[in-house]
Homo-oligomer: A and B are copies of this chain.
């Protein structure tokens, strides 16, 4: 169970390569929401997530997380977030299990095994990630979601290169997270009608 959380973005402008993105976007989401950010290629979805998590700075606008203004100092938000970008943040030299231990040092071995089992990675547990297929590597990155205890999830195309079974698993996981009070913001180009409770559209 997560305590109640909310994210409010108001009047956000992002500058990227001398182009303005988002152009005054405002939205507000809270515990239990699964929000899909929609937009064409190059609309600024990834940039928006990066701004929220604090990798980019906005040109203008305000970001409030659970009542605290984090526009300038994103630390309060960062303590409670899992961000997965286009690149997965997995170290290719380390094995699957070592990568998980790196991100989730508190998880018990049995929890780790359980997650890897359900993600069908259990056979590859001691294989360096660089020797996995694209979808398998993606699964390793995603397994943090099952293990971490953070409220806000920012996922940039999490379904990319997953097979049908993988998509199902991830969908279930996201829905489960929302049902216990989590907050999920994700981008995707795939058509997953039952997934999101709300959409935010970016015009380009």
| Complex CA distance for A157 and B139, rounded to whole angstroms | 17
- Among residues of B, the one whose C-beta sits closest to the C-beta of A119 is B41
Q: Tell me if A31 is interfacial: C-beta within 8 Å of chain B.
A: no
| Complex CA distance for A127 and B16, rounded to whole angstroms | 12
Contact size class for A? 20 to 34
Contact B17 A139 (CB under 8 A): no
Q: Tell me if A132 is interfacial: C-beta within 8 Å of chain B.
A: yes
- Which B residues touch A44, using CB under 8 A? 133
Contact B162 A46 (CB under 8 A): no
Contact B139 A41 (CB under 8 A): yes
| Complex CA distance for A190 and B157, rounded to whole angstroms | 14
What's the minimum C-beta distance from A202 to chain B, rounded to whole angstroms? 11
| Complex CA distance for A37 and B120, rounded to whole angstroms | 21
Question: Which of the residues B41, B46, B132, B160 comes within 8 Å of A42, measured between beta carbons?
Answer: B132
Given the known inter-chain contacts A17-B127, A127-B17, A190-B190, please indicate yes or no for A133 contacting B41, CB distance below 8 A.
yes
Contact B41 A161 (CB under 8 A): yes
What's the minimum C-beta distance from A96 to chain B, rounded to whole angstroms? 12
Among listed A63-71, A72-80, A163-171, interface-contacting one: A163-171
- Which B residues touch A134, using CB under 8 A? 41, 46, 86, 157
Q: Tell me if A189 is interfacial: C-beta within 8 Å of chain B.
A: yes
| Complex CA distance for A165 and B133, rounded to whole angstroms | 27
| Complex CA distance for A17 and B133, rounded to whole angstroms | 11
Q: Which residues of A contact B (CB under 8 A)?
A: 17, 39-42, 44, 46, 86, 120, 124, 127, 131-136, 138-139, 157, 160-167, 189-191
